[in-house]
Amino acid sequence: MNRRDAVKAAGLGVGAAVVAAAAKAQGAAGGKFKMKYAPHFNMFRHSAGKDPIDQLKFAADQGFHAWEDNGMPRKSPELQTQIGAEMQRLGMTMGVFVSGLGSLVQPPAKMKAEIAQKAKGYIEVAKRVHAKWTTVVPGGVDQRLEWDYMTANCIENLKVASGVFEPAGLVMVLEPLNWWANHPGLFLRKVPQAYLICKGVGSPSCKILDDLYHAQIQEGNLIPNMEKAWSEIAYIQVGDNPGRKEPTTGEINYRNIFKWLHDKGYKGVIGMEHGNSKPGKEGEEAVIAAYRECDDF
């Protein structure tokens, strides 16, 4: 490397350090968010780089104190352990990852052994990352079964899973997914339906994940429905509609919703289950600014 290149490289290094320091100062100036908003891997990759540990550090510097990762079970056990240790060091809460337990609308006699075996594997993932919640989607509608039979099967199969998860302190959160924009044909699509199923299972390890993006499309009436189902709701996810991008980009008044959750005494995670409305660092800055705006209540 010649002298000119060396000087240029040094300048780039100083520039990167300045940018990192500025980002940290910006997060410090805003302080920690009131609520546990949880980004996911690659949401801030243009600002933090590709390394997952660096992404966690960047998010913590911005004031976030939670995280979630649907695909955590696909990561190596070594990386899971590293992520879990770093989150504990940063004082961040781990949110959901997805547990695939199979088609839970099928007769329990077919599913029991498979469910128990898979559940035990997901418990090991949860231990590595210190997770308390895991997302469960019961699967698709079986056109050869009456709806009530599917509901009964789902309840019995979830009792099997709860029997494995409950002693480990892991909570399944059932996620209703909308039919109209994203997931036609899935069995679980409404919060009241999930409420009925959780009441039928009757376990502290079987609760509801209320993704307000899906709920807005499927049924609306967000706050009243949360109020009615509150005893069974253990986890919240968000995304604005239309578009499934960050709050302030659509029709949902997330500032009011976050205030309602705060006043309700909700201490859990709010998963940022959405994309960025703009590309690159500009889009990442817009996401952070949107959460600052909606957290200002």
Token pair belonging to 174: 């059932």
Q: How far apart are CA 60 and CA 76, in angstroms?
A: 23
Q: Give the SS3 label for residue 51.
A: coil
Which helix (H) or strand (E) element contains residue 174? strand 171-174
146 is catalytic: no
Q: Is the peptide bond before 176 cis (omega within 30 degrees of 0)?
A: no
Q: Which is catalytic among the residues 175, 232, 246, 284?
A: 175
Is 175 within 8 Å of 209 (Cβ atoms)? yes
Q: Which is catalytic among the residues 68, 232, 246, 273?
A: 273
- List residues bridging with 206 in a β-sheet: 172
Q: Which of 18, 22, 95, 14 is nearest to 56 (CA)?
A: 95
Q: Which of 135, 116, 115 is nearest to 73 (CA)?
A: 135
Q: How far apart are CA 82 and CA 80, in angstroms?
A: 5
273 is catalytic: yes
Angle (nearest 5°) at CA 13 between 12 and 15: 60
Token pair belonging to 285: 């800055």
* Beta strands at 93-94 and 133-136: parallel, antiparallel or unpaired: unpaired
| Residues marked as catalytic | 175, 273
